[in-house]
Structure 1
């Protein structure tokens, strides 16, 4: 087996640290998880953490990026094969039932955002990520509106902001009370599409 280059070795270390931090942050929370604990659980020294991440905030941003990538992959997979608006909304609802209100993920997002309120650099990083998500939603809305000849009731950017805000709020509510139905979000998408709600 070929020996890893320095860059490959560092990438593997970073990957393992991110995966371990994700497990710990989701299980124990952001504040309760120290960098020492991440290093120890991953089988590395604390120095290895600092050679890959400037601080715990940067590590948590990497973890959130990983979670968002996983959710995008899940929703993309769910939407593949849906060939009409009804199929798309049904597929989206299936993803939403599984993901919106996940207690560990929701708690991590809220805790980290709350902790970041006094840190302009982290708030800026979160704002960049939030805008990227809104832009992706707006692009999807625009594409599907063109594909299915739908006139959105507001700009795609505003619709994306509304849907993301509703999704975040619904996620927090469902993390507290999982019995709250998720169908309100697909129903709002149906309203945007001019379709009757379920």
Structure 2
């Protein structure tokens, strides 16, 4: 196997640190997660961390960006498989069933969003990323609404923003009350989708 170039080694180190941070943040939360633990989880030293990231905030921004991009890509594939407008709610329900089983990401983004809104470092960058996520989601929804002939009382952007708010809010409720059924986020989102769509003419 050929040896990695210096640039490839740096990219691999960053990738492993980001993946390790996702696991550590998920366990401990953003503010409570020590940089030393993240570096150790990735198999590196504290020095290796600071050779690649200026701060834990910068690392989280990289993590959230990759997550948002992956979420848009995954949802896009799910929506592309829909052939009829009436199948949208079922597709959304299938896609979001995972939220009922693992609420760690919703907890983490909510924690960082509050941290950023209260003056945390890189608040502006986080706000930009979140707005791009909302816009990309709205654009994706709009594309498939047009393709399927779907009409809604909400704009695609509003539809996407409401979808994010519902999915994250329901995941937080599940985290606070384990007695709630794990399928609640998915079922409630499907109900929202059905209610937000206007009946088709004819």
The TM-score range, normalised by the shorter chain, is: 0.7 to 0.9
Do structure 1's residue 194 and structure 2's residue 198 form an aligned pair? Answer: yes
Q: After the TM superposition, which parts of structure 1 deviate over 6 Å for at least 4 consecutive aligned residues?
A: none
Residues 108 and 14 (structure 1 numbering): CA distance in 2 closer, same or farther, change over 3 Å? same
Taking structure 1 as reference, are residues 55 and 126 closer, same or farther at Cα in structure 2, changes over 3 Å only? same
Count matched residues.
196
Matches within 5 A, 1:1-198: 1-99=1-99, 102-119=102-119, 121-178=121-178, 179=180, 181-182=184-185, 183-195=187-199
Do the aligned partners of 1:26 and 1:105 also contact (CA within 8 Å) in 2? Answer: yes
**Runs of 5+ consecutive residues of structure 1 not aligned to the other structure:** none
* Greater shift in the superposed pair: 129-138 or 99-108: 99-108
On the 8 A contact 1:106/1:175 being kept in 2, the answer is no
Residue 61 of structure 1: how far off its partner (Å) = 1.6
Residues 155-184 of structure 1 show CA distances to partners (whole Å, capped at 9, x for unaligned) of 322333233222222222222235252222
Q: Quick check: 1:151–1:193 contact (8 Å CA) kept in 2?
A: yes
Bigger drift between 87-96 and 120-129 goes to: 120-129
CA offset at residue 66 of structure 1?
Answer: 3.2
Q: Following TM superposition, by how much is the alpha carbon of 1:120 offset from its aligned partner in structure 2, in angstroms?
A: 6.0
CA shift at 1:14, angstroms?
0.3
Deviates more, 1:51-60 or 1:98-107: 98-107
Name whichever of 21-30 and 139-148 sits farther off: 139-148
SS in 2 for 1:66: helix
Bigger shift: residues 83-92 or 6-15: 83-92
Aligned-residue RMSD, C-alpha: 2.3
Could you tell me how far apart the structure 2 residues matched to 1:103 and 1:192 are? Answer: 25
CA distance in 2, matches of 1:8, 1:152: 47
> Could you tell which deviates more after superposition, 26-35 or 62-71?
62-71
Compared CA separation, residues 140 and 71, structure 1 to 2 (3 A): closer
